Amino acid sequence: MQDNIILNLISDLNIEIYLDTADLEIIKKKAAEPYIKGFTSNPSLMAKYGIKSYEKFINEFLKISGNKPVSFEVCSDDLQVMHEQAKRINEFGDNIFVKIPYYNTKGLDTIKVINDLTSQNINVNVTAIMTFDQIKNIVDTKNDETETILSIFAGRISDSGRDAAETISRSVEYINSTKKNFKVLWASVREIYNLYEANNCGSHIITITPELISKIKLRNKDLKDYSIDTSKMFYEDALKHKINI
């Protein structure tokens, strides 16, 4: 029921929602929902859920994801090994995007790795992007038609005190002007309002955690009612925990 409500509440949006998690139980529950257009994961999320075997994780994920796009990340810092891992990950399924960070930990960019992979028809999700210059470097060097996702970490840009929406908007505008096969993804969501910001910026995709998905049902909620509900929450917690003075 709640999922039908969410679907109706976002029917006017032009952005695709990808679920960002490594929790296989949640993926199993959400895979059939029409408003979930794809999935993303990363090594940090895998560690959070105690994933030990990457191969087993990928196979189980693909069995329950409904053939929707899924992003799996390489886990090497060496550029050549990244390339080898990406090819290995790609072999698991046609709906896979291989996540490659823009930089390795030594600050070396991965543009050559990205271009080598896409030239072999391997879909790539370039991750941990923070600046328009990084976007421009990737876009300007691409010479093939393989679909590529550019994940701009908007939440982390905002953490630095900068306007992430400006970076997203500028990136979308530049990509559209080139007519190349890229999609911009708003990553590192901090609050559900980011969904509406991302849509207004023209971002093609946004990744949202399971914890934030349910907050979509609050869209356009009457703020007087919301104020009263909040007061009730504080009052009932005081009663429940016998807080008095």
Q: In this predicted model, what pLDDT tens digit does every residue of 46-78 receive, in sequence order?
A: 999 999 999 999 999 999 999 999 999 999 999
What is the Cα–Cα distance from 195 to 207, expressed in whole angstroms? 9
Report CA-CA distances (Å) from 91 to 46, 87, 98, 134, 190.
Answer: 20, 6, 10, 28, 33
Cα 61 from Cα 175, distance rounded (Å):
31
Q: Is the dihedral of CA 46, 72, 33, 204 positive or negative?
A: positive
Alpha carbon 14 to its chain centroid, in Å, reads 16
> Mean pLDDT over all residues of the chain?
97
pLDDT at 2 over 90: no
Mean pLDDT of 6-27: 96
Which residues, in sequence order, are CB contacts of 123 under 8 Å at separation 6+? Answer: 90, 96, 97, 98, 146, 147, 148, 149
Residue 1 above 80 pLDDT? Answer: no
Task: Assign 3 a pLDDT band (cuts: 50, 70, 90).
Answer: confident
pLDDT of res. 4:
81
Q: Give residue 95's pLDDT.
A: 97
Model confidence pLDDT, tens digit, residues 119-178: 999 999 999 999 999 999 999 999 999 999 999 999 999 999 999 999 999 999 999 999
Which residues are within 8 A (CB) of 26 and not within 5 positions of it... i.e. 6 or more apart?
A: 19, 210
pLDDT at 87 over 60: yes
Q: What is the pLDDT of residue 21?
A: 97
Among 43, 100, 83, 90, which residue's Cα sits nearest to residue 69?
90
- Map out the domains of the chain with their CATH numbers: 2-219 (3.20.20.70)
Q: With beta carbons less than 8 A apart as the criterion, state whether 27 and 61 touch.
A: yes
- Mean local confidence (pLDDT), 11-15: 96
